[in-house]
Amino acid sequence: MSKSVGIVIIGNEVLSGKTQDTNSHFLCKELRALGAEVRRILVIPDEIELIGREVAGFARDFDFVFTTGGVGPTHDDVTMAGIAHGFGVKVVRHPELERALRERHGSNINEARLRMAEVPEGAALVGGGAVQTAVVKFRNVYIFPGIPKILYERFEIIKETFRDAPYFLKVVYVREGEGVIASILNNLLAGFPELLLGSYPVLDNPDYKVKVTLESKDSSYLTRAFERFLQTLPAGAVHRIE
């Protein structure tokens, strides 16, 4: 079984349409390439009790949880407090984060900036290297800022933690529409119930009408399913294969 992942996107700005979430798309692509399986994505507002309830629930349901957003010095940055609330622990200043902030800002340090050192009690910094680029980890929850560039850089440092057996993939671009191949897909899945089978209609493309994906962590199983699929398609139905 693949390692399961839940992603919680935190921020009123996403729900109001002020900001477009690209973090979940990035994480889904990266984690799939690593062999992990994202099972759920949730977008919630900056509310302490809601954050706590949802993140704690995800932590019970999935092997790994990623949160993005709500980490910063302003009034709406309540992710740390929310997670602490959900697990029944205090918010504390992480000594390494506080030291790094004091060294960086010197006499300009203030309470707002020191909020960046606050974490749920028991949290650790992972990723090695500079403290400023470390990821805050609380139990099986990885807490990221919402700024995409920062998230991408920090995930890159720790991504090997999540590597699992890889997925093998075949993609078939089919000239026939779903109405023609639906029964073929149903029969294929009946014969190969463990196959991860996807069918995605494509509009306004003169070359093909459906993109079909076949995935499995068992390469021989995938090969057998793939060959069966090609054998059952109408003659001339395949535009190209990847």
Domain with CATH 3.40.980.10 in the chain: 4-162
The pLDDT value given to residue 79: 98
- pLDDT of the residue at 235: 96
Q: Where are the alpha helices (DSSP H) in 159-212?
A: 178-191
% of the chain surpassing 70 pLDDT: 100
For position 137, what pLDDT does the model report? 98
pLDDT in tens, 110-162: 999 999 999 999 999 999 767 878 999 999 999 999 999 999 999 999 999 99
Compute, in degrees rounded to 10, the torsion defined by CA atoms 135, 139, 145, 149.
50
Contact assessment for residue 191 and residue 231, using Cβ atoms and an 8 Å cutoff: no
Q: Which residues of the chain does CATH 3.30.70.1130 include?
A: 168-241
pLDDT computed for residue 85 by the predictor = 98
pLDDT tens digit sequence for 150-183: 999 999 999 999 999 999 999 999 999 999 999 9
Please, what is the end-to-end C-alpha distance for the chain in angstroms? 25
Widest pairwise Cα distance in the chain: 75
Q: Which residues contact 84 (CB under 8 A, 6 or more apart)?
A: 52, 90, 91, 120, 121
Pick the CATH number of 168-241 from 3.40.50.450, 3.40.50.720, 3.10.20.30, 3.30.70.1130: 3.30.70.1130
Residue-level pLDDT at 185: 98
- Predicted confidence at residue 222, as pLDDT, reads 98
How high is the mean pLDDT of the chain?
96
pLDDT band at 1 (very low <50, low <70, confident <90, very high): confident
- Tokens for 7? 């992603």
Q: What is the structure's pLDDT at 126?
A: 95
pLDDT tens, position by position, 24-40: 999 999 999 999 999 99
The top-level CATH class assigned to 4-162 is alpha beta
Asked if pLDDT for residue 8 goes beyond 80, the answer is yes
Which strand (E) or helix (H) includes residue 156?
Answer: helix 148-158
Average of per-residue pLDDT across 222-228: 98
